[in-house]
Chains A and B, each alone.
Chain A
Amino acid sequence: MRSALKNGAEISAPYLSEREGGRSDMKKLNRSIKSDLVLLSVLLLVGLSLLLVTLVFRKEGTLISIEEGGSFVMELGLYENGEYSLADGKNILVIENGEAYMKHADCPDHRCVKMGRVKYRGQRIICLPNEVTVAVGGGGGVDIVS
């Protein structure tokens, strides 16, 4: 990609499709590479800065609130250690010393189990197949993340 930019008119990046025609088409191609790069850098920059903001401003939560199918089920303290059965036993949530994680899920993809431990405000464990969300909240102040 870099060599394509340096060489100006002689663009031969392997991913670009050939276009017939003379200079005007080459100029057009050059412009579209530039706009591609602008788009890429904008997306990466926005993504990285959002990530940075969430990392810098995150705070540990104190509460865990559980929703099933979009309706509120219960709220637990993040230090109420124990195993909790959700969605009629389809998911098992574990709360342990200020952290929560999904220990078991009956769905095939197990994404919620792979999501690991949550403890910061706004973090969520989501099980899409069983429509269960576990969200960290509390801790006072303004909730920046969500």
Chain B
Amino acid sequence: MDKRIKKLTTLSMVLAIAMVLSFIESRMPLSVAIPGVKIGFANIAIVFALYKLGAKEAVCVSVVRVFLVSFLFGNSVSLMYSLAGATLSLILMLVLKKFSLFSELGVSVTGGVAHNIGQILMACVILKTNIIAYYLPFLLLSGTVAGVVIGIISAILIKRIKT
């Protein structure tokens, strides 16, 4: 089979899964009352892409996902928040993976925490108030716990699924 076609198909499938996960998350009733806190199901697909397909591919999936999800289920404001969270989380995950100091779990935890912090930083910019100090403990704790769950799921998938 043509390798490029296979790659395109794999990427599209990972993107589709990431979007479905984002949709499921947006329908979840357990939204916490703190801005920026999320479980981040879509990060499963991103971590998977990062380890199985490569850095460039993970960036592609993440960026396209953010735009498509915001256009479909969100608005311009939610686009700004998602973009800030996704960018910070991607950059940190890429750097950590490069140094290969941590396993998938550590990378995913960093991604989760960074996503939360990126969103709250964007909230600081938009609202022009310093709320980061007040929410930081909650963001660290929730990001860590969510990151562990996501990291374990991603690592199992990375191990089991052949691409």
Q: Measuring CB to CB, which residues of chain A are less than 8 angstroms from any residue of chain B?
A: 14-18, 28-29, 31-33, 35-36, 39-40, 43-44, 46-48, 50-51, 54, 67, 70-71, 109, 111-112, 114-116, 122-124, 126, 128-129, 131, 133, 135, 145-146
Residues in A with CB closer than 8 Å to B102 are 32, 35-36, 39
Nearest 9 pairs of A and B residues by beta carbon: A70-B128, A47-B140, A50-B137, A15-B155, A114-B33, A47-B141, A36-B106, A51-B137, A32-B103
On whether A33 and B103 interact (CB within 8 A), knowing A15-B152, A70-B129, A133-B127, the answer reads yes
Contact B100 A146 (CB under 8 A): no
- Majority secondary structure of chain B interface residues (helix, strand, loop or mixed): helix
Tell me which of A47, A48, A131 has the highest count of chain B C-beta atoms within 10 A of its own C-beta: A47
Contact B134 A18 (CB under 8 A): no
B155 → A minimal CB distance (Å): 4
Contact A17 B104 (CB under 8 A): yes
Contact A126 B131 (CB under 8 A): yes
Residues in A with CB closer than 8 Å to B81 are 128
Interface size on B, residues (CB 8 A): 42
Partner of B134, one of A32, A67, A122: A122
Residues in A with CB closer than 8 Å to B110 are 39
Contact B159 A18 (CB under 8 A): yes
